Amino acid sequence: MAPCFALRSSPRLADEVRDGLGALPGRHRRLVKGGALASCSIDLEAAIGTEAVARFDYLIASDLRTVAMEVHPATPGEVKTMVAKKRGTAGVLDRDCPWLVVDRWAWIVPFGATLGILRGTVAERQLATAGIGFPDRRLRLST
């Protein structure tokens, strides 16, 4: 099932799905390179409301792929938080949109915020084991 169709078919999530990068505020939209490839996006906080669950900020989908994007400073001490956010997001999607597959989990560090995780460290290995990409300043969307 195409990712945007899956999101729009979910009774709990459908109302918050926006075309393109429309669910992201401008300051976060600027962190996405190749945004024209995005077919739809969703702000997960708006979608799941005040439910107390750690979760990634956004889902961005093209015709074929879905990326979960978290905008957050990157320090070794935040790795456990990111793993918990991935687990929480996966739980919400398993319940509310089980036919959606997230192809990539991206940790994006806004300009001016700390990017304090180094390659070859325990923190990088923990992220890789959890299936979360190494923190970057931009999310690059590709076909």
Give the pLDDT band of residue 78 (cuts 50, 70, 90).
very high
Number of H helices, E strands in the chain: 5, 7
pTM of the model: 0.95
Sign, Cα dihedral of 129, 132, 136, 140 = positive
Instruction: Please give the residue range of the domain that contains residue 24.
Output: 3-140
Q: Is the pLDDT of residue 102 over 70?
A: yes
Q: Domain total for the chain?
A: 1
Q: Residue 119 burial by CB count (10 A; 0-12/13-18/19+): exposed, middle or buried?
A: exposed
The pLDDT, as a whole number, for residue 143 is: 66
How many angstroms separate the CA atoms of 75 and 89, rounded?
21
Instruction: Give backbone dihedrals phi and psi of 132, rounded to 5 degrees, phi first.
Output: -110, 135
